[in-house]
Structure 1
Amino acid sequence: MKPLLRRQLRRPRQKKFRKPTLKFSPTAWSKLRYLRDLGPSEVGAFGISDPEQLLCVQDIELVSQRCTEVTVKFDDAAVADFFESHSDAGRQPQEFGRIWIHTHPGSSALPSAVDVETFERCFGRCDWAVMCILARNDSVYAELRWRQGNVLLPMQVEIDYSQPFQGTEFQEWEYEYQDNVLIEEHHLSHAQDWGFDEPTSLAEWNDQDRMQVLEEFGAPHQPVRETGNASGTNWQDRCTPRSTLDAQHSGELP
């Protein structure tokens, strides 16, 4: 067979799919981990983006919410105030209202059935939106929803050290948590808001509903990557340990 004909009969090479990347500044990532570890429940927030890089999160901002070990419910009035304040500051909705972030108290960052339903219901009419989940063991999951064509793309998550970033502000972050997060233990008083009627206790659920909600306590998901120049130092080393902060609050340290 002639070489030219052989080349013509070859199957075309498939292009390798490259996942889109959700980036966090070291400060934003530090804040997200700190908020996650302040309590036993899930915590939800909006990611504030760089106007020039909408998939680069520069800050994490809480709104008033009720949380359990398996759900987060934002207060409608608080969300409206959040959008109004950022709009008044001259920001566009895609800079502050498209990246939904929340934590899982378990070891898996995979979205539960409740997460999927909430993402569809609250962000389904946006041109694009991102759901990002951080689990207790630092496993992370992120997906980009593109309304045109109803496309869902898995994302990789990176901590970006290539841009300047601010230091940690543990005390301010804790005040923000205390002002906005109300933990509801062992029951879901807002069941109807999430698309199905749950009993007041996990023990009372049928097997199917229990598996849907507790699936997040499975295997870990993908790790977080670090990019840019971290000067050979893990980002955690840049943060004041929580024990030191507690000692400062108690007056044991100057």
Structure 2
Amino acid sequence: MPNNAWYTPYKCPPSTCLSIGLSQGIVYEMSDGVVVKLPFQYPTKSKFYDILAKNQHPNLAQRLQTKLPIGIVLPYYKPSRKVWGINTTATRFAWIKQLVSAVAWLENLGYMHGDLKVVNMGIDSHNQVKLFDFGSVRHRDDEGFAEQVVEDQFALAMCIYFLASGIDLLAKSNSRVEVQRTLNMLKRGQGIVDEAARDFDQVIQAGWTGNLSSFSSLSKDITDIGNNVPVQLKEFQPKVHLNLDYSAIAEDHRWMNEEVYRTAWKTEGYDTPDNIWD
């Protein structure tokens, strides 16, 4: 197999790196409130943004059109953890409904997000939720899709719990054993929902235990929760940013384009499927 070292097509200043933890790429901050996610030297599902461009939803991130040939350029979204405490309960409830609407939209397109978690949802300049990072999406025709549905249900429940209460149930775990213990407890239906999230108690418990129906049905079920405090929700489309600071990006000559990468695989005796770059 060719060297799958973690090269990216460009070198950006380390001080502009925004990524935390492992992913299928690394995120850098650019000018004009814009970030770019550069893929590592292995296949990623960046083309899923092309699908979203044709099937837009106000709470699913849209890539920006730029002259950068490789990479996913997105608006900068504020981390939900950082802004949770400065927003009202009504706004947080609105975020929950927006998130559920977004995953229901994906479900209707035949997909599961595959990596639902708090760090993959940000807040845009209009204080609306944006779900991003689609490198792990699964289509209903993919192997293991049924299992992914259950995983996404659980993950959505965790996201809803956080947005409603500000509590990350896994944050205080000091080991994988503790994390797994907490997960098992929740899946057995033994989790206790904090008072701040009680309006979503049934939804959260159903997600934890794998008993949610469809995300589309869930979106309808939570419509009236929190409606005693009106929140104005608007749809905003991403603007095209043309004033990117390309001088901060230099090519990394270790990067292989698709043709060269396929050739390297074949040289080592491996077959390359048609969709390795999807």
TM class, shorter-length:
under 0.3
- So what's the TM-score if we normalise by structure 2? 0.24
Between structure 1 and structure 2, the one with the greater Rg is 1
